[in-house]
Amino acid sequence: MAGRGRGTDEGEDAISGVSERLLFAASVPVLPAPASLPRLDIPPLPQDRTPTAPAPTIGTATRLGGQFRRLSPSSIRNAVVSAASLEIDRGIAFLLVPVFLASGVIFYFSLAVEPDFAQPIAVVVLMALCAAVSRSWRKTHLCFMAALLCALGVLAAKIETWRVATPMLGSEIPTRLTGRVVNLDQMANGRVRLTIDVISTARPTLRYAPERVRVSASKIPPGMTAGSVVTGYARLLPPTGPVRPDSYDFSFDSYFAGIGASGFFLGTPKLVRADAAPADGAPLAARLSSVVENARESIADHIRRQVGGAEGEIAAALIVGVRAGIPETINEAMRRTGIYHIISISGLHMALVAGTVMALLRGAFALFPDFSSRRPIKKYAAAAALFSIAAYLVISGVVVAAERSFIMLAVMLIAVLFDRAALTMRNLAISAIAVILVSPHEVVGPSFQMSFAATAALVGAYAGWSDYRAGKITTPPPRRSLPGFVTRKFLAAMGGLAMTSIIAGGATALFAIWHFQRVSPLSLFANLAVMPIVSLVVMPFAVLSALAMPFGADGPFLYVMGKGLTAMIALSGWISQRSPIDAVGLISRQSVLLVTIALVIATMATTRLRLAALPFALAGLLTISHTRTPDVLISEDGHLVALPIGNGELAINRVRSNVFTTDNWKHALVSETIVEPETFEKGDAQFDITDPAQLPPGAPFYCTEGLCIARHPSGAIVALADDRKTARPACAFADLIVIDDATAYDPCRNPLILVVTKRQLARAGSAAIFFNPQSATMRAEIRFAVEAPYRPWHTQRKFSREARGLPPYLKPEKPRQPVAQ
């Protein structure tokens, strides 16, 4: 038996030594192995006792030479190609679909000329044919597919621009306005802001009347609600452009929001009809919108009464999205501390609502173990959470940020219903594609960019951390006492919250600087202090109050929510008072583009191709300051001029100025203090305005009799005149003259003096002036915010009276009746 077993073992060893290629050779028959093979006894070789020289050791230089040979260009290329193939196999091509679509949208909105429909359609058809023909060549096919997606992004943006086609008011005009109220917001200053669908205008009747306007009133008649028909004499203003070049364009936002004009009522509007009935001709969509809007207002009023104060306004903003009544001091405190995202209904609120509903339902199902063990309770909870966030979207007013967040969370919850992973980059890509195709103009806005950048960074970091943990062997933690367990969980939660704030803040910092020219130095500490209150107290009790509100049992939940908001307001105010100045000035567009590319690579790549993000990120950080700060800023109406005079001071030419404009200019020019002008009477012996020698460099505005002058720290003299006649004396000494008169022309006829008239500003928007102190004679360069030819959202600019060189409209006086003798 022993010999048999030994032979069997030897036979198996012999079979294992047969070449495997013989098993797949068709021409060579495979012979069965014998049961035993003859044993060959080979004597050992004689050992040579002669000492041999030791093998040469490999030195450090030799090892480094081998590493450098391995890092040859061909080996690097092969490694990159291999990693790229692996990324494509893992599905990165689909993740890049929204990236190329967004690139096409950005390209469309950055064009200087509006393209015709034929151009993007022709490019789409051509790229589609090239992609179909090149399917056999993988690399070429991928390139044509990327170009096709970019062309589709251009086409989607063009279709949206054509579909919206908002009629915009061209010039300021008073008229009797009659329209149907879409919504109304109680503002913190006591005024009421109304959005109205225009039905008719009179005295004068507007030939090209806007379809929807946004006007304010000091007070409104009782009984006015959404759907009411109102009338009143109002002064309508055309949508304004950017307050400075490369700033936020209000006319762009108004165009895609359907708002053709803004303004205010001259007096109290009158109520024509209390509600919109089918007999009134109101469309079904308008009636449904009125029902939802009235429900929102009723809920908001109920919350304000129950909670009270500023906490009630914030609670109404969190539950139904009505935030016009929040005091500006609290808004500014939350902006300085970096927690203003709590007020805007977005992904955070949607996630907290969905999470609270899922937790409540799964906890309730756990009370019935027999039912829970036989049913997919996780799917039931996900379906209920999907219904809840849909209702939350409707009741919050379907704002863009909430709509985008709903799409993202809906994709994730539907993934749970189909047993797929919820928090993946693929689901984020699906939601991004949906948003881009539905509202392409949102791609160039700060809300889209910051929300998707933060979400992509968090999902990518979570995936990387999961991969890192999966490759490590972890031992269960030792059993601890209850205080130790609670402490460990608390520290883990705070650490996770800190990392979330750091990752999201780092991903969105450059976008915030680009759009708002400000950062929050203490945002990490503010979020660590406030977010636990919001996540554990404010939002859960907001959900509970919403669930209990139909039964009239929401009082206790709103009370707890209000106390949490009180703590949040106190913390944000305390941190805001200790926060340093948050103005950081302007950054270059190239820097934002490079950092965006780095973010895309870092979040979507799963191999060592992530390292390719480092050079883009480094280049983006090195080019942040590659932009020139304007020396003078001029508003588009010609009323306001500002220039930095050093020591963080910004000199302006008016005592009463537009607060929003001056705040934007302060952040862009890194200024902290506004210096108002000094006014002198004509003939005042203390100051002669025609003698510029009295102005030291960095002097603020000195004004008298329609003329203001100031001196920039570079030595350039800026003059602001009411008309051409007043501006003529400044030709002797000024380097820049701004004339607040649309009928004026250049009075100096000197190419070394830059003259800007109100007509130029009306046609081209606000302006930025750059002085060149290096030249022998001071020269000034100008850059306007709006360039011709106009895009659809700027076409109305050429119809204003100022753009046509006409003086302001004056109502003709009634002729006097002759007095009877």
Band (17; pLDDT cuts 50, 70, 90): very low
Task: With CA atoms as reference, report the closest residue to 496 among 465, 518, 468.
Answer: 465
Q: What is the pLDDT of residue 50?
A: 44
CA-to-CA dists, residue 492 to 482, 486, 496, 673, angstroms? 15, 10, 6, 43
Which position has the token pair 């910092």?
509
The DSSP string of 91-105 is THHHHTHHHHHHHHH
Residue found by looking up tokens 């048999």 in the block: 4
Question: What average pLDDT does range 639-658 have in this prediction?
Answer: 88
Q: List, for residues 392-435, the tens digit of each pLDDT value.
A: 888 877 776 677 778 878 888 888 888 877 667 888 888 889 88
Q: Which residue has the tokens 């583009």?
A: 593
Residue range 328-336: average pLDDT? 88
As a 3-state breakdown, the chain gives helix, strand, coil percent values, each rounded to 5, of: 55, 15, 35
Segment 665-686 mean pLDDT: 79
CA separation for the pair 740, 717 (Å, rounded): 17
Nearest 5°: phi and psi at 80?
A: -65, -45
Percent of the chain with pLDDT over 90: 29
Choice among 266-280, 307-321, 366-380, 698-712 with the minimum mean pLDDT: 266-280
Give this prediction's pTM.
0.82
| CA distances from residue 95 to 602, 605, 616 in whole angstroms, order as listed | 13, 10, 19
Query: Which pLDDT value is given to residue 562?
Result: 92
The closest alpha carbon to 432, from 451, 413, 418, 419, belongs to 451
Q: What is the 3-state secondary structure (H, E, C) of 735-773?
A: CEEEECCCCCCCCCCCCCCEEEEHHHHHHHCCEEEEEEC
Query: Burial of 303 by CB count in 10 Å (0-12 exposed, 13-18 middle, 19+ buried)?
Result: buried
pLDDT in tens, 504-516: 888 888 888 888 8
**pLDDT tens-place string over residues 245-290:** 988 899 999 999 999 999 999 989 998 876 655 545 667 777 788 8
Over 80: is that where the pLDDT of 7 sits?
Answer: no
- End-to-end Cα distance, the chain: 154
Two tokens at 417? 């219903």
Please check whether residue 415 is in contact with residue 422, taking contact to mean a CB–CB distance below 8 angstroms.
yes
CA-based angle 55:60:64, to the nearest 5? Answer: 115
pLDDT tens digits for range 159-177 = 999 999 999 998 889 999 9
Determine how β-strand 767-772 pairs with β-strand 736-739: unpaired
pLDDT of residue 29: 43
Helices within 471-554 (DSSP H only): 482-516, 523-533, 539-548
Higher local confidence (pLDDT), 726 or 17: 726
Contact 736, 778 (CB under 8 A): no
